[in-house]
Amino acid sequence: MDFSSFNSAEQAHMTKIIEKKQMQDFLKLYANITEKCFITCCNDFTSKALSSKEESCVANCAEKFIKHSERVGARFAEANADQAGGSQ
Amino acid sequence: MSFLGGRSNANTGSVNYDKIDMAVTELDTVTDFFNRMVSSCYNKCIGAKYPADGDLNKGESVCIDKCVAKYNDVQKKVGEKLQSRGAAAPAQNQSAFGSL
């Protein structure tokens, strides 16, 4: 995305929009991880409280998802850079 | 020209909202694409299996790299297909909203 043709008022506007979207994105990520890790880890409903096994599962699952997301982001950025470099 | 010294408003120029709209649309598109890619590759490479630990093992890492490459490829191919269909048959009955 090329913001070089934007004047400073437009850039300030875009910065505010981007900040808001980043916050919304983070909240979506939070909800997403919660759902996925719940589905993976919580399959025994004989008790209300999380067992220690389920707790460690959730911790591992969340960490794994975040690492996965970071890796995808890194590959995605590389692919974008390649494409931008190749077309110029 | 400013003999008062300094500027009361740091933002110069007016805002072209059409340009902003297009930039926001592009940003939304890319964000959505990325989120779908993360979700799809998670389902394909890691899935709902019980995590042994919090790290990605070698198999998962390699799978993710390949998954991202394929996802990008699929996007390109689908884009080409849509473009070629769009060029061949002008949008007569394509819109769900009908026409004026």
pLDDT digits (tens, 9 = 90+) for B20-72: 999 999 999 999 999 999 999 999 999 889 998 999 999 999 999 999 999 99
Q: Kindly report the pTM of this predicted structure.
A: 0.80
Q: Can you give the CATH number for the domain in which B32 is found?
A: 1.10.287.810
Measured in whole angstroms, how far is the alpha carbon of residue B61 from the centre of its chain? 22
Q: How many CB atoms lie within 10 A of CB A21?
A: 14
In a domain, residue B73? The reply is: yes
In a domain, residue A51? The reply is: yes
Q: Which of A7, A14, A60 sits opposite B12 (nearest CB)?
A: A7
* pLDDT value for B94: 58
Residue A16's alpha-carbon distances to A21, A30, B14, B17, in angstroms, are 9, 22, 16, 14
CA B82, CA B77: separation in Å to the nearest integer? Answer: 9
CB–CB contact A71 B42 (8 Å):
no
CB–CB contact B48 A71 (8 Å):
no
Give the residue numbers spanning the domain of B84. 17-97
Q: Can you give the CATH number for the domain in which A26 is found?
A: 1.10.287.810
Q: Which of A13, A14, A64 sits opposite B46 (nearest CB)?
A: A64
Q: Among B7, B19, B22, which would you mutate to test the A interface (most chain A Cβ atoms within 10 Å of its Cβ)?
A: B19
CB–CB contact B51 A60 (8 Å):
yes
Binning pLDDT at 50, 70 and 90, where does residue A85 land? Answer: confident
State how many domains chain A has: 1
Q: How many CB atoms lie within 10 A of CB B64?
A: 24
Are residues B46 and A67 in contact, defined by beta-carbon separation less than 8 angstroms? no
